[in-house]
Structure 1
Amino acid sequence: MIINSEDRISIIDLLDLNERFRTGAYVIKEEEVTVIETSASPSIPRLIEGLEQMEISLDRIKNIIVTHIHLDHAGGAGVFLEKCRNASIIVHEKGARHLINPEKLEAGARQVYGKDFDRLFHPIIPVPPERVIIKKHNEHLQLSPDSTLTFLDTPGHSRHHFSIYDNKSKGIFTGDTAGINYGYILEGEALYLPSTSPNQFNPEEMLQSLALFNELELERIFFGHFGISEEPAKVLTEIKNWLKIFIDTAIRITKENKPETQLPALAEALKKEVLNSDNRLRGNEDFLRLLDLDMKVSAMGLLDYLKKNHSKKEV
């Protein structure tokens, strides 16, 4: 499925994990055709199909940008690059080496996902170093004479994360730093939650990145999960508010539970906090399925953070 297929910026729903409105690739149609995010390798056929529907040949792709190297954003970058002979991969300086040699990235993911790894992520193809471009904080990429992307170092979700400001749309591609937008799966109901997955989640750094977004002249946010919001001030406020709720809930659960029961207890507690915020959320099975997955992953990151920072009491 393609959203805004006739616009300068279109979204291809990659059906990540076979779920609608889960992960999207953005296609910017300028002199240098640019794709932002690839998702995992099983999603690449859907990305290519979407480009074909918009009559964009793979030879026209010039830039493939990944906001960070988590596999649901960049796992398919190597596979896609093999098919785009004129393209380069643009990545954060702390993520480049893992695209060039993904052995550690794959080994870590196999530990987490076990027997499900191949179904979800295989294969992970190394990216040739000569086709990797590193972008640092405040560096630019010119797509056409009046179209410039600016790269901003935005840790919090991960240390190898940048966000990309687009001057023409006055929008920013935030990957996971500004959280998850559930508005599409909820058919227009706004809900924005932080993404606190392991193992580099840091709430202080996330708040600093949100403050950086607040300083920009923003009219929209382009989420990795999923789609576009044209209420950036509300997004940033809600992510900040929910981040405090997530941290406070995690601290309470660690005090009330033994280590072996903390993860399921925290995932359930986070889900309860979200559902209690709006009773209308309980009737959407597609949303509940995604929420269950996201709260388990966020709980893992919160517990990992608290374990590394024993003295943390609040954000």
Structure 2
Amino acid sequence: MAKAVDLGHGISLIDLYDLELPKRTGAYVIEGDELTIVETSASPSVPYLLKGLDDLGLNLEDVKHIIVTHIHLDHAGGVGLLLEKCPNATVYVHPRGKQHLKDPSKLIKGAKAVYGEKFDELFDPIVPVPEGRLQEQDDSSQLNLGDRTLTFYDTPGHAKHHFSIHDSKSNSIFTGDTIGVYYPDLLEFDVEFVLPSTSPNQFDPDIMLDSLGRVESLEVDAINFGHYGQSRNPKRVYAQIREWLPRFLEVSEAALESHQGANLDDQTEAVQKALFDLIAQHLDSLNVPKDHKVYQFIKLDADVCGLGIVDYIAKTKR
């Protein structure tokens, strides 16, 4: 198991091995006057988070704040389970997400509908968070940690229940999924690669770009992604999302056009294949081997993004 990565300014990144994959989903630990954790992933990842905290020499009793950027299960599914181990912690969540952490029945029902028999392996257990330990954070609200201030910004587009958190000490921002997915395995090719995350069912490209613009206006020095790791080249990140998002929509619309009359499953598969092929062609142009491990992530993300784009197009054509 990988050791926590020191990102400087008292921030460490712990690999949570979401889906049992390294460098898939991470938690950020902010040390200092008020020990803070950003993101938990799903419950099967909590043991990795606990081990990472132990490796850092940190005590669970000292955890004061647990923040989830949004309530998708790969970011917040394990928060209730983690909270049971952290007796002095409060959970911070977007106002639209608070009810679902308090009563996760709808989250569970939705995940079971999508994942079926795989639900238990991927997400179980999803533990409710007591209302008394939940704190909503409104847009532009702040959390003072003593030696730094965290500022919460409403950043929808990926999901309506999404915020991003700016850290004053490092001048970095925790963006969850709202401005994309980062692929650190490609750094071995000197490629810093980011793609939009267009998962269902609240994806909206125009709102996503508005949120990107808001993050960009903060002039941060680094971006801390939920998937996975830190980029110290924010301008490159913004440019790639602005480049890839319209391309995602263009090839998806073309795939749907060529499969008019087909059933929804076949249409969705066509969009997923079109997205994967588009990305693969780009990676091929960069001389990334076709058997490189990054393709496992690309396939997962193309499938999820395809679902979200098909859902978005269906809604906009109503």
User: TM range, normalised to the smaller chain?
Assistant: over 0.9
After alignment, is 178-187 or 189-198 more displaced?
178-187
2:90 aligns with 88
Specify whether residues 286 and 31 from structure 1 end up closer, same or farther in structure 2 by C-alpha distance, changes over 3 A only.
same
Tell me if structure 1 keeps the 8 A contact 2:80–2:127. yes
Q: Which amino acid aligns with 1:108?
A: G
Superposition deviation, residue 6 in structure 1: 7.8
Q: Does 1:298 align with 2:301?
A: no
Q: Which amino acid aligns with 1:223?
A: F
Superposition deviation, residue 247 in structure 1: 0.8
For 2:102, which of 100, 103, 112 is the aligned residue? 100
Q: Aligned ranges for residues 26-65 of structure 1 at < 5 Å?
A: 26-65=28-67
After alignment, is 261-270 or 62-71 more displaced?
261-270
Tell me if structure 1 keeps the 8 A contact 2:186–2:193. no
Q: Which amino acid aligns with 1:298?
A: C
Superposition deviation, residue 263 in structure 1: 1.1
For 1:15, which of 17, 34, 44 is the aligned residue? 17
2:194 aligns with 192
After alignment, is 111-120 or 245-254 more displaced?
245-254
Counterpart CA distance in 1 for 2:244 and 2:299 is 16
Tell me if structure 2 keeps the 8 A contact 1:203–1:243. yes
Q: Which amino acid aligns with 2:315?
A: K
1:227 aligns with 229
2:171 aligns with 170
Counterpart CA distance in 1 for 2:106 and 2:315 is 21
Counterpart CA distance in 2 for 1:45 and 1:32 is 22
For 2:240, which of 233, 238, 247 is the aligned residue? 238
Counterpart CA distance in 2 for 1:21 and 1:268 is 24
1:160 aligns with 161
Counterpart CA distance in 1 for 2:6 and 2:283 is 32
Specify whether residues 254 and 283 from structure 1 end up closer, same or farther in structure 2 by C-alpha distance, changes over 3 A only.
closer
Specify whether residues 282 and 6 from structure 1 end up closer, same or farther in structure 2 by C-alpha distance, changes over 3 A only.
closer
Counterpart CA distance in 1 for 2:295 and 2:83 is 34
Counterpart CA distance in 2 for 1:203 and 1:296 is 17
For 2:274, which of 269, 272, 282 is the aligned residue? 269
Structure 2 residue matching 1:48: 3-state secondary structure: helix
Tell me if structure 1 keeps the 8 A contact 2:186–2:192. no
Using the size of structure 1 for normalisation, the TM-score is: 0.96
Specify whether residues 21 and 6 from structure 1 end up closer, same or farther in structure 2 by C-alpha distance, changes over 3 A only.
closer
- Which string of whole-angstrom CA distances, capped at 9 and with x for unpartnered residues, describes residues 28-73 of structure 1? 0021000000000000000000000000010010000000000000
Counterpart CA distance in 2 for 1:17 and 1:116 is 11
Tell me if structure 1 keeps the 8 A contact 2:177–2:225. yes
After alignment, is 220-229 or 268-277 more displaced?
268-277
- Which string of whole-angstrom CA distances, capped at 9 and with x for unpartnered residues, describes residues 131-182 of structure 1? 00000100000111x3000000000000000000011111110000010000
**Matched residue count:** 310
1:286 aligns with 293
